[in-house]
Amino acid sequence: MRKVNQYYCMRSVAGFTLMEVLVTMVILSIGLLGVAGLQLGSLRGNQSAFHSSIAANLAVEGADRLRSNVPGVRNPNTGADRAEYDLINAAGADPGCIDTTCSYAELADHDAFEWITSIQNQLPSGQGAICRDGTPHDGSSSAAHACDGNPDANGNDIFAIKVWWDHDLDPATPLMAYRLSIIP
């Protein structure tokens, strides 16, 4: 009968080997990288949802501005057959009359200035347009707003409120859009 080396047996059950510890560390590192990836995806999703909420609020604000100046929406500009809010897609200048008395046209200019400035300040590469549009769910930016100035197929005078922003901060991808249409 052979005798078993007692030293060898004691050493084999004494603890973990360096190889076992390294394998455990690799497995743990892969798991932690997966958790970090999930956290990053969650942060991106939260930021996207935040910007979508801001865009929705700004679109509703644009609609409220239309509803609060109905004569400016209905009355055409001098020399043109278009309402004051028929195409707002640039901030322009503030007429500075809000503390005194604004005409309907000046109030529309003030609304355009305030609304576009809010979009630019609150959204990354934020852009916006308010216009008459028979097909309100098109357009890719304030420069390419696709507002046609026509009523819809049923003859309704629809105003489109369109907000665009750079959701992923990548100029190569198209802008994200939020569109709202109303009949004031």
pLDDT in tens, 124-156: 999 999 988 888 888 888 888 888 888 777 877
Closest CA to 157 of 59, 64, 70, 61: 70
pTM metric for this prediction = 0.77
Instruction: Give the sheet arrangement for strand 127-132, strand by strand.
Output: 87-88, 127-132, 159-165, 176-182
- Alpha-carbon span 64 to 58, nearest angstrom: 10
Q: What is the pLDDT of residue 83?
A: 67
Distances (CA, A) of 28 to 23, 25, 31, 47, 87: 9, 5, 5, 29, 58
Chain segment 44-53, per-residue pLDDT in tens: 889 999 999 9
CB 179 within 8 A of CB 63: no
Residue 86 has which token pair? 């028929």
- Token pair 């309402």 is found at 83
Sign of CA dihedral 76, 141, 124, 64: positive
Element holding 130 (H helix, E strand): strand 127-132
Q: What is the pLDDT of residue 79?
A: 43
The DSSP result for 37-78, as a single string, is: HHHHHHHHHHHHHHHHHHHHHHHHHHHHHHHHTHHHHHSBPT
Query: Residue-wise pLDDT tens for the chain (184 aa)?
Result: 555 555 555 555 566 788 888 999 999 999 999 999 999 999 988 999 999 999 999 999 999 998 888 887 876 554 444 567 888 888 778 888 887 788 888 888 899 999 999 999 999 999 999 988 888 888 888 888 888 888 777 877 889 999 999 988 888 999 999 999 998 7
Q: What is the pLDDT of residue 80?
A: 45
